[in-house]
Amino acid sequence: TRLLAGDAKDLLVGRDLLFGAALGLVSTGARYLAGWLKDWTDSPYAPNHYVTTDSLGGLRFAVASALDNGLLYALGLGFLSMLFLVSTQRLFRRDWIATVVLFVALCTLQILIGIRSWPAIVGTVLAMATLLFTLARFGLLAGVALLAVEGLTINMPLTTDLGSAVADSAIV
């Protein structure tokens, strides 16, 4: 509410953005760790490859992919998660029950949609636990920052070599 009120210089806004971005990198690390565990354990399922090729078509496509996979994904999932969390808090009248219900719902949904190997399930559980901790402890702004950083770092190739073919998407 501080950011919506126009108080963008408030220290709590900066704190929420900073914690959200840092925990977004933790969530991304959990998902990448799941992919590495699949490789190390010779899992029969394909490894996790999240990078989309849409961002490799130049700067215009990289900006569009960043908006789609970062900002829109973060706003949509962040608002829906917070709405569900607040609704279940009002229904059960206990914060921890609402958080557990949302955690089970989000994990079950992702597992049913397409996650089949145990390393990917572990990565999903860790990522969802990070998201719910962020939403419950720091609020919506930190949750949206977490989801935006996670969406960008998972879907966009990162490089420090500005002469490479993926430099446009790394700059965005």
91 has pLDDT over 80: yes
Is pTM, for the whole model, over 0.85?
A: no
In this predicted structure, what is the pLDDT of residue 170? 61
Number of CB atoms found within 10 A of residue 150's CB: 30
In this predicted structure, what is the pLDDT of residue 114? 74
19 has pLDDT over 90: yes
Task: Give the span between the Cα atoms of 5 and 127, in whole angstroms.
Answer: 30
Query: Angle CA(60)–CA(76)–CA(32) in degrees, nearest 5?
Result: 75
Query: What pLDDT, in 10s, does the model give residues 48-74?
Result: 555 566 666 667 777 777 777 778 888
Instruction: Categorize the per-residue pLDDT at 82 as very low, low, confident or very high, splitting at 50, 70 and 90.
Output: confident
In this predicted structure, what is the pLDDT of residue 3? 67
In this predicted structure, what is the pLDDT of residue 5? 64
Instruction: Categorize the per-residue pLDDT at 4 as very low, low, confident or very high, splitting at 50, 70 and 90.
Output: low
In this predicted structure, what is the pLDDT of residue 40? 78
For the chain, give the mean pLDDT. 80
Query: What pLDDT, in 10s, does the model give residues 102-129?
Result: 899 988 988 888 777 788 888 889 988 9
In this predicted structure, what is the pLDDT of residue 52? 61
Burial of residue 4 (number of CB atoms within 10 Å: 0-12, 13-18, 19+) = exposed
In this predicted structure, what is the pLDDT of residue 104? 92
